[in-house]
Chain A
Amino acid sequence: MLLVSFLLIPFLAALVLLFIKDNKTAQWIAIAFSVINLLCALQIFGNAIPDFDAAWLSNVNSRFVLHSDGLSKILILLTAISFPAIFIATIKNDYKKRNVFLSLMFFTQAGLIGVFLAADALLFYFFWELALIPVYFLCSIWGGEKRIAITFKFFIYTFLGSLLMLAGILFLNAHTLDHSFLITSFTKATLTPAQQTTAFLLFFIAFAIKMPLFPLHTWQPDTYEQSPTAVTMVLSAVMVKMGLYGVIRWLLPLFPMAVQGASGWVVAVSVIGILYASFIAIRQDDLKRLIAYSSIAHIGLMNAALFSQHQIGVQGVLVQLFSHGINVLGLWIVADIIEQQTGTRSMQAMGGLAKKQPTLAILLVGFALANIALPLTNSFVGEFLMFNSLFQFNVWAAAAAGVSIVLAAIYTLNMVQKVAYGEIGESIQKMTAPNKPAQAVLILLLLMVLITGVYAQPLFTLTADTLHKLFVK
């Protein structure tokens, strides 16, 4: 029942919120529901959670099966932490029709959790779309001035991916013995190498768009820039993880031969993407776009590590899925505070945050250090393992990707310098009193950065079963 409750709470919240017209009340109800969901989610650290199985679309032989393993758990934890953090951090932001906004956010959360739990391919597809559609409305109603065109592109891009994935699901379904959509049946399906490759490609393009992987990434910086920040936070902290999740859940176990065959190409493209995005990040003046490209580079590294196919790398990714979410959330919250108070994202006019709002500047530096994977911040552990795996796969790929740790230092410290240091710039001058709720969230997130950076063992333990399923046969 626990697994269903993860889904029911956000659904319930979404429905309740539709009837709350008052902004303040809506806000508090949203926070309350998201905190309850978080408390529920903390149960995952306990014993094994029984699967949930119910009839669903029985005419096509699809079942409503929810299953959780380490991979699901760590992402549910991330989702459950992100939503209250986002709601509290953006409490001072002004959204018209707040209740509808929040309701759509909860639909997204339900979709995300569903994606991470579904053990039936059709159900997975259903949640995959469920997570996407509310985001479309959120961006196109509450977004920036270029929102319509940008959101349209985002939607078409990811929807195209989804359709390919649907084709892949149907293709696999046709090749199962019992014509079911259960992942357990999918693993039993016998596919020729060519059929594996077909299915692999159909799935992989969908996942690659979602991550996004170079060169399918151009929807992302625009969307991050134009979306309301709360939505950007969901997108980059949690939703991009859907693509990586898909690779671990579906590609690696179902199409080992195709993965093996494609690994060289995928790693090469990922590494190029890492460097490409890092270089572009160096030249960004827009704070949000800088974080967007930085994120593309980090996700690229995770994908490269997955396709290098060593246990150590997948272990690194499993931890990094979580750590990256926390870090990027922190960066977005800082960026949002600054944008809300100054009305600009251009770093040209910033500077002197350390003088104007020292606490916020310290927090920014903290997340910046996590972004460059300084040891004893959370991302060091993950990146260390991922690079190790890449090194075992191909020394030159690791060395090339390794250049990104230097590039990351360049663009991240550039950002810190332009935003926090120097004399107070004209836009920072406009900043008013510190945003206390957002800073409180930032402090909690930074504590998580440090704690999991020093002692990541709980995360390793949580995800061990996924690794064993993949590697110990």
Chain B
Amino acid sequence: MALMKILIAFIIVWPLAGFLFNGLGRNYWSKKVIAYKATGYIMASFIASIFAFLYVQDHGAVSVHYFDFINTDTVKIPFDFKVDALSSLFLLVITGVGSLIHLYSTAYMKEELAPHYARYFSYLNLFIFSMLILVLGDNYVVMFIGWEGVGLCSYLLIGYWFTNGQYNYAAKKAFIMNRIGDLGFLLAIFWLIVRLGTVNYSEVFTAASLAKLSASDITGITLLLFVGAMGKSAQIPLFTWLPDAMAGPTPVSALIHAATMVTAGIYMITRSNLLFSHSAFTQNIIAIIGISTALLAATIAIKQNDIKKVLAYSTVSQLGYMFLGLGVGAYSGAVFHVITHAFFKALLFLGAGSVIHAMHHEQDIRKMGGLKSKLPITHITFLIGCIAIAGLPPFSGFFSKDEILAAAFAKSPIYWVLGLLGAAMTAFYMFRLYATTFLGKFRGTTDQENHLHESPAAMTMPLILLAIASAIAGAIGIPEIMGGQHWLSHQLVPIVGMPVELGLSPFVEWTLMSVSVSIALIALLMAISIYTKKTDQEPTTAMGKFFYNKWHIDELYNATIVQPLNNFAGFLKNVIEKQVIDGAVNGTGKLVQYSARKVRLIQNGQVGYYILFMVFGIILLFILWFNDLAIVRFFYQMTKFN
């Protein structure tokens, strides 16, 4: 135990040390020192995570107590960490993918001046630190600390190039939309505290606690938690920040806005699966929102021409799949998809970064093409990522997506059909992206063409490693009908219980699988055949424009929420505050002045008047003292309404 306490502390202290080291020393260290420290610290954290993971494999979950975050008579929030089957997996993904992305960043960001280079890495380290707190926390409040911490780092990194006003705007938008979700999360925490007096997982997820919660309590709490997840994991209606978040440096998009932070919502719901499983209503909502988000984002992705925007909408869409999985009760399927998605989406973003790097900051795929021969490693790894996300066997995305789709089918064939539609679109837009970028002829300037180059080893090595992972990670969840053991679902038994028997015959399962694979295959072949030769021009059809313009959702929010609230605030400031309230105050003041001028006339030097007023005054006091003023009684009556 004591050893684990040190080991777990070790995992999170390294990234914190990196943050402080580079943050405080940003004007002093050379770029080399900065890069070594930042990457090395995360790798150290990764190694410690491996030990923690192995410990859990042998000895089961372990909780460690550090100090009391809040300890009062009425509520106790310990600062506890827990390493168990779920969090140990996330530890590996966060620090593993995190290390690779740090390594990649050392080359990708090398044009930055040293102080900014250090600032970048300190933020990135702080992000890992916050993300680790999020998954290690043994209660909802500690999770919330990490939850808002990653939001802050996301804000800082999206707005990393802070002189650009648009980037700042995107950063602010991300933070504010996340805050809306956070409010839901907080209210859920308060609700738990009111009903149970605790937020510790080990106390909340017990039969005794469940017995204390009414059905509406559980529905309310789970819905509010889901609002939190919506914000962080970019689901309808809180998803529009994620595509804008692409303003940040590309490795940031890979780490935060694809592999780790945006999956926090899935982590949270999986962690709370006991509560969610008790509210069919919430589960249905999650499934519906999940599949809707998956489809909505996919339609937009088809029409985008910015390489990062396509990937961003793809991420939103894939997160939608994960929520579909959660909604139909396939918790281990959702976690499986989190893991495989972390690999292939990080890979795709880093590949995109390598392309952007080679193209000298060009992101429009219409100006690319034919990069296949110029960037061989980037090309091959990107292709592997595309196959993985399109869901072709034996690459990882196939297994995880298929598990979700099978569970969706068992719940309702409608979910499955919609899911299939989404899968077809995914294959289509990914290979549209691939073909437009890598196949055909180069369409950029000759200057760009002459400078095309494969990225340095620090960038290609992470690509290769992630490509390998994207290709083989499916092995952790090969379903039984394929003769596999499904290691992952056994691993997660302590968290989500035994996998639910779907009741599908092997014939049905095989059929579902072949249908989805064939559809994906058709879609990707179509995309390749279309986009090898031509690129998308400005859309002409109404539907094309609608998708190209992202369903006009930003404009809709602006017109229905942002502008009205802004106007309302202006009305309060200029009319209510200045004229009504302050007007009343100043008016009272003027009235007093006016009456004072009149009252002055009473002081005319005749003693008789003075005595008269004195008597009045005494009578008034007398009434006040012994009978209480009528107005006082009036107020007293008013307060009785409660």
Contact = CB atoms under 8 A, between A and B. Distances in A.
A421 B162 contact: yes
Contacts of B194: 388, 391-392
A277 to B, nearest CB: 9
Interface stretch (A140-148, A191-199, A334-342): A191-199
Given A198-B629, A406-B183, A265 B638 contact: yes
B148 interface: yes
B48 to A, nearest CB: 22
A220 B581 CA distance: 13
Nearest to B26: A358
Given A264-B641, A352-B163, A413-B172, A381 B633 contact: no
A403 interface: yes
Interface in A131-153: 153
B120 to A, nearest CB: 14
Contacts of B68: 457
Interface residues of A, number: 68
A193 to B, nearest CB: 7
Contact of A387 (B71, B190, B628, B639): B190
Given A153-B589, A376-B145, A410-B176, A311 B163 contact: no
Given A369-B152, A417-B168, A422-B165, A385 B72 contact: yes
A420 B165 CA distance: 11
B162 A354 contact: yes
B640 A261 contact: yes
B639 A423 contact: no
B571 to A, nearest CB: 9
Contacts of B589: 153, 156
Contacts of A376: 145, 149
Interface in B171-198: 172, 175-176, 179-180, 182-183, 186-187, 190-191, 193-194
A460 B72 contact: yes
Contacts of A174: 625
A460 B71 contact: yes
B74 A315 contact: yes
Given A369-B152, A405-B183, A262 B639 contact: yes
A279 interface: yes
Contacts of A388: 75, 190, 193-194
A218 interface: yes
A369 B153 CA distance: 12
A409 interface: yes
A456 interface: yes
Contacts of A193: 636
B636 A406 contact: no
A457 B71 contact: yes
A374 B152 contact: yes
Contact of A280 (B169, B572, B585): B572
Contact of A422 (B163, B175, B628): B163
Contacts of A355: 162-163
A414 interface: yes
A233 interface: no
B176 A197 contact: no
A23 interface: no
A21 interface: no
A67 interface: no
A421 B168 contact: yes
A381 B70 contact: yes
Contact of A409 (B168, B179, B568): B179
B291 to A, nearest CB: 28
B569 interface: yes
A448 to B, nearest CB: 17
A201 interface: yes
Contact of A402 (B162, B187, B582): B187
A195 to B, nearest CB: 6
B576 to A, nearest CB: 8
B152 A311 contact: no
Contact of B148 (A358, A374, A402, A460): A374
B573 A283 contact: yes
Max chain B CB contacts within 10 Å: which of A195, A197, A258?
A197
A315 B74 CA distance: 9
B577 to A, nearest CB: 6
A352 B165 CA distance: 10
A467 B168 contact: no
B635 interface: yes
A423 B164 CA distance: 7
B179 A406 contact: yes
Interface of B: 67-75, 115, 141, 144-145, 148-149, 152, 155, 159, 162-165, 168-169, 172, 175-176, 179-180, 182-183, 186-187, 190-191, 193-194, 565-566, 568-570, 572-573, 576-577, 581-582, 585-586, 589, 624-625, 628-629, 632-633, 635-636, 638-642
Given A198-B628, A417-B172, 16 more contacts: A171-B624, A218-B577, A258-B636, A263-B642, A265-B639, A279-B565, A279-B568, A283-B566, A283-B573, A312-B74, A391-B191, A402-B183, A413-B176, A422-B163, A422-B165, A456-B70
26 contacts: A153-B585, A157-B585, A258-B639, A261-B642, A265-B638, A265-B642, A276-B572, A276-B576, A283-B566, A312-B74, A312-B75, A374-B148, A374-B149, A374-B152, A384-B141, A385-B70, A385-B72, A388-B193, A391-B190, A391-B194, A405-B179, A406-B180, A413-B172, A422-B168, A423-B163, A467-B72
